[in-house]
Copies of this chain bind each other. A is one copy, B any other.
Amino acid sequence: MQNGHEGQQSRKRNSRETCLEPCAIERGMRVIGGKWTGSIIYHLKDEPVRFNDLVRMLGGASKKMIDQRLKELESRNMVVRKVLNDRPVAVSYELTDFGRSALKVLDAVRQWSEANDI
């Protein structure tokens, strides 16, 4: 009564990392649609930003979240982490060219949101 049979739908564990959905929109959204991901990228659009500055800019997201998303983005080569100083510790994050390529999309989202009072 609890295994075998292959229910009406299956497939699990595609939560993060190289999503295999057939729909390109779905795949793309998993990369830049995650909670805070778009905001982070967008706040890096002009210049490198230091970790705690990012935390302040995104008032509402925890350090843990931001750290987590930044690592995700780093592993996808969308942002680069740079150590500015050792003592006291200082690092900054900036977009790669690939990361910058997502800005077009994000800006479309932003404009749509604003135009429709989302």
B28 near A118 (CB under 8 angstroms)? yes
A25 near B9 (CB under 8 angstroms)? no
A60 contacts the other chain (Cβ, under 8 Å)? yes
A83 contacts the other chain (Cβ, under 8 Å)? no
> How far is A39 from B24 in the complex, measured between Cα atoms in Å?
9
> How far is A58 from B23 in the complex, measured between Cα atoms in Å?
8
The contact size tier of chain A is 35 or more
A38 near B61 (CB under 8 angstroms)? no
> How far is A60 from B70 in the complex, measured between Cα atoms in Å?
28
Q: Which of B21, B42, B115, B116 contacts A25 (CB 8 A)?
A: B42
A29 contacts the other chain (Cβ, under 8 Å)? yes
Residues of B within 8 A of A11 (CB): 60
**Contacts A9-B60, A33-B33 given: A113-B38 contact, CB under 8 Å?**
no
Task: Please name the residue on chain B nearest to A36 by beta carbon.
Answer: B26
Measured CB to CB, the residues of A under 8 A from B are 8-9, 11, 21-29, 31-34, 36, 38-39, 42, 58-63, 98, 101-102, 104-106, 108-110, 112-116, 118
